[in-house]
Amino acid sequence: MQEAWTGADATALRKALRMSQREFAEKTDISLSVVKKWASRGETVTLPTEFAEMMNTHLDVRATPEQRAAYFTYRQSRIETLVLDDPEPHADLAAVQWDPGIWAADCNAVASELTRKDLMLDRRQVGRALLGVAVGTSLLEPLENWLLRAAHTPPGHPTAIPRAGLQEIDQLENAARIFREWDDQYGGGLRRKAVVGQLDEVNDLLDQHHPDAIRRRLRGIQAQLAETAATMSWDSGHQAIAQRYYVLAVKAAQAAGDPVFAANALAGMARQLLCLSRAGDALELIRLAQDHAAHGATPTVHAMLRTREAWAYANLGRPSAFHRAWDRAGEDMTSSTPDSDPHWIEYFDQAEFAGTIGGRLLEMAKHAPEFASEAAEQIERAITLRRPKRLRSSALDQLGLTEARMIEGEIDEACRLGEEALTTVEETTSDRVLVKVQEIYERTEQLANVSAVISLRDRMRPLVETTV
């Protein structure tokens, strides 16, 4: 079974079945406009879980052996064409190739090459970057081996005269915190390049000699900036580049002697894979993160990791395991003491906890509508508790509540909430938010003759068109 399907994969399946777009739409009971969108957006669109399951059914059950062989031929040919015929392969190398040796490579070399190529990245290369996301054993095995070695490798003790003073280190640490706040408030967009540029400057400092104490602090700053760049890159649609920044964050945090932040970066990488329908791989990463942070993490950090675990179980269709992980995360949150938390986990408050759980209940409600009411209850709690200026999270909360009410059949209320949500959506450039808008737009297609839905779709259409 193929876990993740892109629009290009669906088009390859349609061609293997020798169907026109209209025939394929009728056969799969999917609207023609969606089939056309998949064909036009190709690698840049990842199919929602229900559509991915539908594609798997057609490929594994309904297709003949010859048609399945044709599908894999189309798919492999497409990948080879994108990678080998890249008009600027040197500029996009980081986006289309995954080298498992990245874990064992020198941290400075990884950082310098990644930021240099990222600053050269052309917007038209973003879609192809999806090809470079590592999954399965190519991701997990080298990572596990590296973690085992890294845990037993003592840090060096350089004794040269420092090139960066303590005041400069303080300023860099403060800048890293500000950039993280930018991400929490707005997401990616133009701010992402500022983070990458600052990371590049820290990389240059790390090429110089420093005493161990200052070097560790610089590594910590590098880890913080890399993790922020990862989240912003993902939020801007740069999937493969985001994954490499997460790798850098893990490596730098380990070098800084901060295994808990390394676990946080692993959890970020897992969250990305969850959104790319790779729940099995994500669950393995979360378990590695939990093991890595077992002895040093605060209850809030443990709660965040438990919540990611619950997320994976929800995506795997295991509601009992989801509720067990949710309950344990709730116990951790109850014993949370924010004053003892590292600053980078401040975002994970009761609002974030409720919003994350509500979002997972909503995903399950798409297959089992009885979860919709519970999802709406959690999301409403998140909306009530959200701190001001958390625009991306607020937009996702409001859109989630809109979708929950639709599943419950409360169409007029859903449209009212949707109109309010779009006011928040229009204040952020988050790719994740726009993808959510696209999902709701597609969901409402069958209700396009209802007056309230017509008004909502008219307002959503310009936002949807920017994602095509």
Among residues 290, 284, 219, 276, the alpha carbon closest in space to that of 249 is found at: 219
pLDDT at 246: 94
Q: Percent helix, strand and coil across the chain, each rounded to 5?
A: 75, 0, 25
Claim to verify: residue 172 and residue 28 sit in the same structural domain: no
Q: What is the DSSP letter of 256?
A: T
C-alpha span between 431 and 435 (Å, rounded)? 6
Mean pLDDT computed over every residue of the chain:
83
Is 390's pLDDT higher than 50? yes
171, part of any domain: yes
Average pLDDT over residues 108-125: 69
- Tell me the C-alpha distance between 321 and 328, whole Å: 11
- Residues 227 and 149 reside in one and the same domain: yes
Examine the domain organization and report whether 23 and 139 are in the same domain. no
Q: What is the pLDDT of residues 326-372, one digit of tens each?
A: 999 999 999 999 889 999 999 999 999 999 999 999 999 988 999 99
Residue 154 and residue 27 in one domain: no
**How many alpha carbons lie under 13 Å from residue 297 in its C-beta half-sphere?**
24
- Tokens 């393995």 belong to 284
Least confident range from 194-198, 222-226, 349-353, 401-405: namely 194-198
* Domain-ending residue, one of 225, 257, 289: 257
Residue numbers of the domain that contains 11 = 1-85
pLDDT at 86: 42
Same domain? For 71 and 189 the reply is no
Residue 168, CA atoms < 13 Å, CB-side half-sphere: 11
Q: Compute the distance between CA of residue 182 and CA of residue 184 in angstroms, rounded to an integer.
A: 5
In a domain, 222, yes or no: yes
* In the predicted structure, residue 155 carries a pLDDT above the cut 70: no
Reply yes or no on whether the pLDDT at 80 is more than 50.
no
Are 189 and 242 in the same domain? yes
Q: Would you say the C-alpha torsion 387, 391, 396, 399 has a positive or negative sign?
A: positive
Residue 398 belongs to a domain: no
Locus of tokens 């602090």: 217
pLDDT in tens, 45-62: 778 888 888 888 888 778
Q: Is residue 100 situated within a structural domain?
A: yes
Is position 176 within any domain?
Answer: yes
Strand partners, 46: 6
Token couple for 77: 């040919």
- pLDDT above 70 covers what percent of the chain? 84
Vertex 294 angle, CA 289 and 300, to 5° = 85
Phi and psi angles of residue 32, each rounded to the nearest 5 degrees, phi first? -60, -35
- What single DSSP character describes residue 6? B
In a domain, 208, yes or no: yes
CB 229 within 8 A of CB 203: no
Q: Determine what percent of the chain is predicted with pLDDT higher than 90.
A: 40
Q: Given CA atoms 274, 330, 232, 341 in this order, what sign does their dihedral have? A: negative
- CA angle centred on 401, ends 382 and 6, rounded to 5°: 110
Identify whether the C-beta of residue 238 lies closer than 8 Å to the C-beta of residue 131. Answer: no
For residue 111, the model assigns a pLDDT of 83
pLDDT at 165: 67
Q: What b/e sequence results for 85-107 when a residue is b if at least 16 CB atoms lie within 10 Å of its CB, and e otherwise?
A: ebeeeeebebbbebebebbeeeb
Of 241-250, 262-271, 322-331, 443-452, the poorest mean pLDDT is in 443-452
Task: Give the CB-side neighbour count of residue 31, counting CA atoms within 13 A.
Answer: 12
- Would the pLDDT of 414 be above 60? yes
Q: In sequence order, which residues have a C-beta less than 8 Å from that of residue 59 and are 6 or more positions away? A: 2, 13, 68, 71
Domain identity same for 20 and 123: no
pTM of the predicted structure, to 2 decimals: 0.71
170: in domain: yes
Which of 204, 222, 257 is at the close of a domain? 257
Same domain assignment for residues 33 and 62: yes
Judge whether residue 159 has pLDDT over 50: no
Final residue before a domain boundary, out of 40, 63, 85? 85
Are 3 and 130 members of one domain?
no
H or E, element range at 460: helix 451-465
User: Which ranges in 236-298 belong to alpha helices (H)?
Assistant: 239-255, 259-275, 279-292
Helix axes 107-120, 239-255, angle to 10 degrees: 150
How do residues 420-449 score in pLDDT, each as one tens digit? 999 999 888 778 888 899 889 988 888 888
Instruction: State the residue for tokens 């970066």.
Output: 265
pLDDT above 70: residue 33: yes
Residue 164 and residue 22 in one domain? no
Residue 62 lies in a domain: yes
Number of domains, the chain: 2
Residues 231 and 253 both lie in one domain: yes
Helix (H) or strand (E) holding 346: none
- Extract the tokens encoding 331: 């116990």
Answer yes or no: do 95 and 238 share one domain: yes
Between CA 191 and CA 182 the distance in angstroms is: 8
Q: What is the pLDDT of residues 272-321, one digit of tens each?
A: 999 888 999 999 999 999 998 888 899 999 999 999 999 999 999 999 99
Whether the CA torsion 364, 370, 372, 375 is positive or negative: it is negative
